[in-house]
């Protein structure tokens, strides 16, 4: 029997990160914002990366449930309603796996709904473009190229990131680019476009287009290896600055994720 005074549970489903500082600034912040917006639900954390779950448990003594484990717990507790809201950026294999797991357990709850990833509808792209342009004032300087690094995948054409890039370009920000470190468009392709501006651009500023600025932001974007975006940009002759700030630090993104929760509630 459900003993909580809450009407159900709101599971915030993240891939996860082992970097404490960015976890506190992003995933913690999103969960806090959702708890304030939806006080009628218990907020519960779920990570989908088994590797990160293992690292946190062994290194820090922190245990985070996987989706299956949390749904098992809620079922045993008699929870009547469950909403699962992912912090994933796009539809992909992580989201498809989440849907499959939920399909197995949904029969055990009166209501069980899954919210959409951050970038799902056209309005999401428009809202995120507004957020990025507000938070990255360097975009207004045509002498600076602002490049956002998304995760991407080699299995698809990364259409969501291309669409995000197009949305920014449609607003007249031709010095702003979106790429991925897996698949296309990669950073080499972006550098080619920056070079086409000849002597107009003197500086490149790199931002992660990821909820948490974890391993990929620290190593693949701003690391010292010869394949990091920072080193590639410097090798190409550009003064380069890295902003290690995940999207989960932006209040606008908290609100955008909250809107997906709202849509899931109404399903």
Which residue, chain included where needed, has tokens 């920000």?
173
Taking phi first (over 0 means left), then psi (-120 to 50 degrees means alpha), and beta for anything else, what does residue 246 get?
beta
Pairing of strands 81-86, 111-114: parallel
CB neighbours of residue 156 within 10 Å: 14
d(CA 94, CA 152): 12
Q: Which residues are catalytic?
A: 151
121, two tokens: 């509808």
71, two tokens: 């749904």
Phi, psi of 235 (to 5 degrees): -65, -30
Q: CB under 8 Å to 59, separation ≥6 — which residues?
A: 18
DSSP state of 74: H
Paired strand residues for 41:
8
Q: Which of 93, 76, 92, 100 is nearest to 84 (CA)?
A: 100
Q: Which of 142, 150, 139, 209 is nearest to 185 (CA)?
A: 150
Q: CB under 8 Å to 259, separation ≥6 — which residues?
A: none
DSSP state of 65: B
Radius of gyration of the chain measured on its C-alpha atoms: 19
């Amino acid at each position: 029997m459900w003993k909580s005074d809450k009407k159900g549970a709101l599971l915030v489903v993240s891939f996860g990160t082992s970097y404490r500082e960015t976890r506190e600034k992003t995933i913690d912040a999103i969960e806090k914002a959702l708890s304030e917006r939806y006080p009628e639900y218990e907020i519960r954390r779920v990570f989908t990366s088994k590797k990160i779950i293992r690292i946190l448990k062994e290194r820090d003594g922190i245990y985070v449930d996987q989706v299956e484990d949390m749904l098992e717990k809620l079922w045993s507790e008699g929870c009547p309603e469950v909403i699962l809201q992912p912090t994933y950026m796009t539809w992909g294999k992580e989201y498809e796996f989440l849907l499959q797991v939920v399909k197995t357990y949904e029969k055990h709850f009166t209501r069980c709904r899954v919210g959409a990833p951050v970038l799902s509808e056209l309005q999401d792209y428009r809202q995120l473009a507004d957020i990025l342009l507000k938070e990255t004032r360097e975009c207004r300087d045509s002498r600076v190229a602002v490049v956002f690094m998304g995760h991407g995948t080699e299995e698809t054409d990364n259409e969501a990131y291309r669409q995000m890039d197009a949305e920014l370009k449609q607003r007249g920000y031709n010095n702003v680019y979106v790429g991925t470190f897996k698949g296309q468009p990669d950073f080499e392709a972006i550098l080619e476009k920056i070079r086409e501006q000849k002597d107009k651009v003197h500086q490149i500023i790199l931002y992660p287009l990821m909820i948490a600025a974890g391993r990929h932001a620290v190593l693949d974007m701003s690391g010292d290896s010869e394949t990091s975006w920072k080193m590639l940009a410097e090798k190409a002759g550009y003064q380069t600055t890295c902003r290690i700030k995940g999207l989960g630090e932006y209040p606008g993104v908290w609100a955008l994720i909250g809107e997906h929760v709202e849509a899931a509630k109404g399903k």
